[in-house]
């Protein structure tokens, strides 16, 4: 192995994993861009939908933590699923990663530009700053940060994450203190949903998507000290913290806006409000400076999310380039800081390319329809990965670690979690009948077939690349090595 094909080891801790996940979850931007839409169907039962999503997210994080104690590497899901399910199943399912993580940085800046920057600049500056400015400026900042050493990038991610958390915790706290009746337990009752169980399920699906990104630290495991424990702690602590945060803020914003006794009226008033977070609620909590504080917090959130996303996706590109699954030039690091510069530039180039595509689509088209389409594609891909993760837990421990298999821990919990994951997965597939959202399942299916074709071509022409990828952690673990069990070489 060349010195320029290795990452710097033992420089990150479980705290780095924690803040990587929190930054990727992007609480501030997730709340501003999702809560209002969720409330159109759930009404003032929005906090209950968040509770349900938090339980599912904790179950998925727990299942993933069981696997990260066994398998890890810069290729993330490619390594984990290949080791648990065999290279064919692992590679083709993990191929879905490419229509999730690499798109995330673009979606962060695009959503910020269209939903936040344009209306905010028009209202407070008197002229509209076009959405593409957010992509050009934001992605340039992220690319520069990603080319520094990983500790520097993580420091920026941590600072930005802390700033947004402080602002939004204070935001929610002030709204509760100001409320005449801050204690409203009916908001956690299913009967309070504005559209019955269907409305609650609708909000649950989108609430679960708020937690997307808690697994973003997986590709950083080669650079993490005490990888097995640090990654598991980062996963569980980040989801636990995000759960408490979303439940608290969901409740605070419903109370602050005036959920009242009539959930249907709340759904209409809150759902149709003009920028409730950066407008009504921000002014109520902070006065005239409120909209600027919320704008700053969401901007921080989007930059931190994009930086966390690029840190993860660039290392997957690097790992697959190093194993020669992707072009070899992606698999090199810089001499000084050992960062995957080529892979980082490639990830940044993809963001700019997507920005250009959407700019062209915006002429004569409903740009938000294509934004929604991309979000649904990403959601289906990630939910499918979560489902495969649950299956991987059972297979890995039932067939490869028989002496460690426990029926509840490795059997019942993954089975129940997989069944629940199917709810938002099926909802994402069947609850979007309008075009272009209805195309999303077909795009994911076609992409999966492409992955299957790529796998078969590699197996026939370059079988050594798949073997290198499957056993990456032994070849590049640098102190994290685990023995390769003979059973690990089997495939289901």
* Both tokens assigned to 284: 């109520």
Q: For residue 491, name the pLDDT band (cuts at 50, 70, 90).
A: very low
Q: For residue 73, name the pLDDT band (cuts at 50, 70, 90).
A: confident
Burial of 138 (0-12, 13-18, 19+ CB in 10 A): buried
Instruction: Tell me the residue length of the chain.
Output: 492
Q: For residue 50, name the pLDDT band (cuts at 50, 70, 90).
A: very high
Distance (Å, whole) CA 161 – CA 30: 13
Distance (Å, whole) CA 180 – CA 364: 47
pLDDT at 440 over 90: no
* Both tokens assigned to 5: 């094909």
| Helix, strand counts (H, E) of the chain | 20, 0
Distance (Å, whole) CA 200 – CA 193: 6
Listed residue (419, 437, 418) closest to 429, CA to CA: 437
pLDDT digits (tens, 9 = 90+) for 330-379: 988 888 778 899 999 999 999 999 888 888 876 655 777 777 788 888 88
Listed residue (410, 481, 413) closest to 67, CA to CA: 410
* Both tokens assigned to 404: 């460690």
Percentage of the chain lying above the pLDDT 70 cut: 92
The least confident of 33-42, 73-82, 241-250 is 73-82
Distance (Å, whole) CA 351 – CA 261: 45
Q: How far apart are the first and last CA of the chain?
A: 30
Which residues have C-beta within 8 Å of that of residue 19, sequence separation ≥ 6?
A: 154, 157, 158, 161
Distance (Å, whole) CA 301 – CA 321: 30
Burial of 76 (0-12, 13-18, 19+ CB in 10 A): buried
Is the alpha carbon torsion for 233, 236, 239, 243 positive or negative?
negative
pLDDT at 264 over 60: yes
Higher pLDDT, 477 or 334: 334
Distance (Å, whole) CA 304 – CA 56: 25
Percentage of the chain lying above the pLDDT 90 cut: 34
pLDDT at 488 over 60: no
Stated pTM of the model: 0.86
Query: Which residue shows structure tokens 């500790």?
Result: 151
**DSSP letter string, 308-319:** HHHHHHHHHHHH
Selection from 147-151, 232-236, 273-277, 482-486 with the highest mean pLDDT: 232-236
For residue 432, what pLDDT is reported? 60
Q: Tell me the average pLDDT of the chain.
A: 85
**DSSP letter string, 276-310:** TIIIIIHHHHHGGGHHHHHHHHHHHHHHHHHHHHH
User: Taking a C-beta distance cutoff of 8 angstroms, is the pair 57, 243 a contact?
Assistant: yes
Higher pLDDT, 256 or 367: 256
Task: Tell me the average pLDDT across 399-412.
Answer: 89
Task: Tell me the average pLDDT across 112-141.
Answer: 91
Which residues have C-beta within 8 Å of that of residue 290, sequence separation ≥ 6?
A: 278, 281, 282, 283, 284
Reported CATH class of domain 3-489: mainly alpha
Listed residue (254, 256, 257, 266) closest to 195, CA to CA: 266
* Both tokens assigned to 15: 């705290």
pLDDT at 485 over 50: no
């Amino acid at each position: 192995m060349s010195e320029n094909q290795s990452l710097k080891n033992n420089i990150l801790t479980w705290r780095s994993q924690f803040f990587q996940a929190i930054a990727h979850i992007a609480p501030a931007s997730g709340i501003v861009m999702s809560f209002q839409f969720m409330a159109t169907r759930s009404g003032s039962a929005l906090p209950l939908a968040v509770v349900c999503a938090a339980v599912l997210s904790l179950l998925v994080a727990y299942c993933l933590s069981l696997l990260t104690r066994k398998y890890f590497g810069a290729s993330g899901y490619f390594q984990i699923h290949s080791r648990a399910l065999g290279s064919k199943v692992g590679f083709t399912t993990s191929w879905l990663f490419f229509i999730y993580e690499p798109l995330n940085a673009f979606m962060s800046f695009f959503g910020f530009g269209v939903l936040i920057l344009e209306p905010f600049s028009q209202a407070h500056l008197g002229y509209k700053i076009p959405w593409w400015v957010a992509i050009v400026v934001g992605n340039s900042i992220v690319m520069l940060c990603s080319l520094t050493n990983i500790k520097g990038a993580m420091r920026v991610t941590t600072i930005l994450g802390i700033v947004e958390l402080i602002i939004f915790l204070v935001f929610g706290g002030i709204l509760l203190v100001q409320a005449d009746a801050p204690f409203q337990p009916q908001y956690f009752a299913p009967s309070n949903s504005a559209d019955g169980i269907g409305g609650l399920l609708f909000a649950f699906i989108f609430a679960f998507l708020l937690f997307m990104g808690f697994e973003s630290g997986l590709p950083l495991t080669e650079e993490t000290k005490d990888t097995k424990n640090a990654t598991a702690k980062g996963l569980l602590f980040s989801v636990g913290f995000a759960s408490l945060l979303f439940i608290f803020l969901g409740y605070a914003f419903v109370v602050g806006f005036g959920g009242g006794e009539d959930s249907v009226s709340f759904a209409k008033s809150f759902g149709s409000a003009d920028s409730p977070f950066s407008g009504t609620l921000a002014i109520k909590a902070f006065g005239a400076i409120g909209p600027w504080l919320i704008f700053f917090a969401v901007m921080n959130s989007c930059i931190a999310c994009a930086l966390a996303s690029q840190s993860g996706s660039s290392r997957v590109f690097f790992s697959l380039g190093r194993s020669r699954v992707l072009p070899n030039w992606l698999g090199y690091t810089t001499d000084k800081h050992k960062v995957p510069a080529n892979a980082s530039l490639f990830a940044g180039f993809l963001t700019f390319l997507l920005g250009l595509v959407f700019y062209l689509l915006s002429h004569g088209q409903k740009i938000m329809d294509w934004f929604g389409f991309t979000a649904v594609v990403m959601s289906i891909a990630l939910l499918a990965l979560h489902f495969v993760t649950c299956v991987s837990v059972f297979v890995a421990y039932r067939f490869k670690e028989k002496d460690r298999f426990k029926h509840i821990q490795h059997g019942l919990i993954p089975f129940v979690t997989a069944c629940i994951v199917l709810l938002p997965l099926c909802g994402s597939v069947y609850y979007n009948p309008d075009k272009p959202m209805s195309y999303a399942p077909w795009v994911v299916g076609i992409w999966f077939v492409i992955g299957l074709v790529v796998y078969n071509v590699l197996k026939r022409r370059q079988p050594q690349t798949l073997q290198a990828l499957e056993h990456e952690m032994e070849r590049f673990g640098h102190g994290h090595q685990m023995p390769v069990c003979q059973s690990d070489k089997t495939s289901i």
